[in-house]
Structure formats: C-alpha cells, structure tokens
Structure 1
Amino acid sequence: MKIYAARVCAIQAAEEKRLCELLDSDRMVKVRTLKHQKEKERSICAGLLLRYAFLQAGYHENAWQQIEIEKGEYGKPQMKEYPDFHYSLSHSGEWVVCAADAAPVGADVQEMKPWKMQLAKRFYHREEYSRLLALGEMDTDRQTRAFYRMWTAKESVVKRTGRGIGAGVSRYVTTEDFQCVYDEAANETIHIKQYDELEGYIVCVCSESGNFPKKLELINITNMG
C-alpha cells in the first residue's frame, strides 16, 4: 500500500490545458464543468495524484492514457481493466490524499475546523459521544482531535466499499486507541491507520490488506508531468 499527499497548488491558465491532458478522460470532463478556479485546481491535483499512484504501482504511461474508470456496486470509482489496483481519493482544505493498494481501500483527510457536539450526537455511536463529552471536561484540543479521528475513521471505512455516510455511520465504533473500527451491524472488526503529519489535518486509511505504511509520501504536484 502507498499513501500519497499533495498540497493543492495554484494553476495558471497556461498550465491548465497541459495538466488536464495528463488526466483520465472522466476527470477531464469533470474539470471542464467546474466553474470555480479553486475547485478546478483541487480536481486537477487529485487527478494528477491518482496518475502518479498508478505509474508508481508499475503500470506504464500508455496504460494510463487508455484507462477507463467505472462505478462499482455502490458507486465507488474503479479502474475497469485493473482489478488489482484499488484507490481512494480525498481532499480537504489545502490537501489531497490518494491511497492505493492491491485490495479495496478507503481514505479520508479532514481539516480540523471548529465543530459542534450536535454533530457527534447525531452521527456517532453513544460510546463515542460519551468519550467526547468526557474529553471536553479535560482538554478541548484533545476533544477536537478525537472528534476528527472518529470522523475520518468512519469516512475511510465507508469509502472502502463506496457505501458513503448516507448508509449510516453510527454503526461503526472506533476503539479508544483508534487502530480499529468495530462494525456493529456486521459484527466485524476493521483495521485502520491514522496519520497526523499534515499540520492541522487528520488522515485515516482503511484497507482489507492491513499493510499500512508508516508515513505518508508527500508529493510536489508542480513537478509532475
């Protein structure tokens, strides 16, 4: 498994066309429909990071140029002719993350912004909500970090299958050490790994293989292509 992270960069009009030609055809179409420049830059950076992950996995540029992306059972994007290449993209604030593995994988990155306990009460398991309440009485910074560690854990789990948070996330209970998520509905323990190398952000990855790298690989988007 590899986990790549790249800071979203400003893209000048002269560079945009050249970089878009490096993207898969689906993302090219998506970028053209985006009206806001920041959204375009974020989508282009995500597409470039996916291309980088694909090439680093040992595939050739010719294969990338012919890539077709289809939707899986729950709508998760996957590469049509490469069943052994699984990936998950996520973005938040200034960062884009791409996890790639030979087994299904889910990744989530979240910028730690101000939040409200009502969100935890609505979406989290009662045990998690109680843990957050207890932390709030001792250390609000730890409480905020715990809130986002819970959120990224749940997001990464649902993104592994493509079900999305609409399927409900309170069934997924994070352990206190944040190394596992217990799925109450399926009676299953799912392994995760979290990374705090990006200041002000939390990254979480969930994979069937459990073969997590120790660190993120930071990539400079401007050097691609």
Structure 2
Amino acid sequence: MVNVFAVKMTKPLSADLFMRLADDLPNDRRERLRRFRRDEDAQRTLLADILIRYLIRMRLGISMTRASFQSNEFGKPFLEGRSDFHFNLTHSGHWIAAAVHDRPVGIDVERIRAIDLSIASRYFTREECDSIFNMPETLRLERFYEIWACKESYVKAEGRGLSIPLQSFSVRFQGELPYLQTQPSSVQRALRLYAMEGHRMAVCAETDLFPQWPTEWTSEELAASYLVQ
C-alpha cells in the first residue's frame, strides 16, 4: 500500500523552532531556506525536508547523518542506495504532504483559489475541459484543481518533469474516481484524490492500494516528534 502523510501548518513555526530544525539539515538545504523571500515558503520547504527525513528514520532506521539524497536528470530526488524506497513531496497553502512506496510515486496538493478557468485550454485536453465546464458552475473550480493535482502527481510519479506534455494524457472520472487515459508510459498507474481543507491532493502510483485518508499531523506534532532523536 502507498503510505500518504499530510502535515497541516496550524500556525507559523517560532523563530527558535525554525532554527533548531534548520540546524539539523545539510548546508545546501539551509542555504536554500535563506534564499526564500517569503517566510511561509521557507517554512513549508523546511517542514517538507523534516517530514521525509523523519519518515526515513522511522521506516528505515537511517539516521540523517547517513542519509544521502540524489536527484535524477529531471530533478526528482531519491534516497541513494535504496531502490526499495521511493518518495515524493508537495506543499501548498497550509498543507505539506509526502507519499512513500516501494515503487515510484507522485503526489501533489493544490490550494483552491479563484482563477480564470479559460486557462484550462492551455494545459488540459479537450476531454478534461469538458469535464470542467459540464460541471455546475459552483463546482468547476474544484474540478479544475482536481485535474491539475492529478496531472501533476502523474508527471511526478513518472519522474520526467514537464518533458511529459500535459496534454499528452488525460485525467478522466468514473463518478468521482479519477483515472488516467492515453498514458505516454507503458507503466499503468492509478490515482487517488483527497479533498483536504481548502485544497485538493492527488497521489499517483503503480498500485490502486491507497489509504482512505492520509496520516495527518500538525506542524507542531511533526517538529516535536522529529526533535526526539
């Protein structure tokens, strides 16, 4: 089964807690945090780093001093030396999330906010656009973000970034359940959608065994658990 974890930022981390967590990261990750102009971006990125490091420690017993991360040619990170452990991270709004599996996996969370829905025609297939505009007007925005999150999760699971044209595959729905059509890959993948508070989150994997709901923590709970070394 794919394991899915979601961390809700109930309030910003204090400056002291932020520094305690950041000090445990490698130099390059700390430097990345310093480059953010907005505090909320730095906090979400820090929590994503802490989340995957905590999961690696809990699941694999690997200390952070021994964990080595690499990235493929498209920038997707992986844990060096562990072909049986695949992960993906995402964050938006007040949610930070991770998906973990023994095969490639992708996850994406999108904060629902008002946009001009005509943008769908630039990135979505005709069938996906029809799926949006055939919905009642009050539900179109949610459907847009459901499709967007599903498409992003698939691209991230493939690990080839936007070298995969977003209009080369389609997210369809059977009732409220999403599925992929005309995939550019020989690997069949399944989708799962979660309606998070004010957001939509999608997970894509080579199995259809997903949890009913992600394992959920607050940012304070994650930080406290992580700091208990």
TM-score when normalising by structure 1:
0.88
Report the counterpart of residue 86 of structure 1 in structure 2: 86
Question: What letter is aligned with 1:6?
Answer: V
Tell whether the 8 Å contact from 1:112 to 1:148 is kept in structure 2 after alignment: yes
CA displacement at 1:180 relative to structure 2 = 1.4
Report the counterpart of residue 169 of structure 2 in structure 1: 172
Aligned counterparts of 1:7 and 1:161: Cα–Cα separation in 2: 26
Q: Cα gap change, 1:184/1:50 in structure 2, threshold over 3 Å: closer, same or farther?
A: closer
Kindly provide the CA deviation profile for residues 199-218 of structure 1, in whole angstroms up to 9, marking residues without a partner as x.
11111000123331121111
Aligned counterparts of 2:20 and 2:148: Cα–Cα separation in 1: 36
Q: What SS does structure 2 have at the residue aligned with 1:130?
A: helix
CA displacement at 1:34 relative to structure 2 = 2.4
Report the counterpart of residue 10 of structure 1 in structure 2: 12
Q: For structure 1, which segment, 181-190 or 88-97, has the greater mean C-alpha deviation from structure 2 after superposition? A: 181-190
Question: What letter is aligned with 2:193?
Answer: Q
Report the counterpart of residue 56 of structure 2 in structure 1: 54
Q: Cα gap change, 1:130/1:82 in structure 2, threshold over 3 Å: closer, same or farther?
A: same
Q: Cα gap change, 1:127/1:189 in structure 2, threshold over 3 Å: closer, same or farther?
A: farther
Aligned counterparts of 2:30 and 2:20: Cα–Cα separation in 1: 11
Tell whether the 8 Å contact from 1:53 to 1:98 is kept in structure 2 after alignment: no
Is 2:149 the partner of 1:152?
yes
RMSD of aligned alpha carbons: 2.0
Q: What SS does structure 2 have at the residue aligned with 1:115?
A: coil
Tell whether the 8 Å contact from 1:76 to 1:161 is kept in structure 2 after alignment: no
TM-score when normalising by structure 2:
0.87
Report the counterpart of residue 213 of structure 1 in structure 2: 211
Q: For structure 1, which segment, 1-10 or 51-60, has the greater mean C-alpha deviation from structure 2 after superposition? A: 51-60
The gaps in structure 2 that reach 5 residues or longer are none
Task: Provide the aligned length of Structure 1 versus Structure 2.
Answer: 219
Kindly provide the CA deviation profile for residues 168-217 of structure 1, in whole angstroms up to 9, marking residues without a partner as x.
11112112224311234447653111111x21111100012333112111
Aligned counterparts of 2:219 and 2:27: Cα–Cα separation in 1: 19
Report the counterpart of residue 119 of structure 1 in structure 2: 119
Q: Cα gap change, 1:184/1:38 in structure 2, threshold over 3 Å: closer, same or farther?
A: closer
Q: What SS does structure 1 have at the residue aligned with 2:7?
A: strand
- Percent identity, please: 25
Report the counterpart of residue 195 of structure 1 in structure 2: 194
Matches within 5 A, 1:122-141: 122-135=122-135, 139-141=136-138
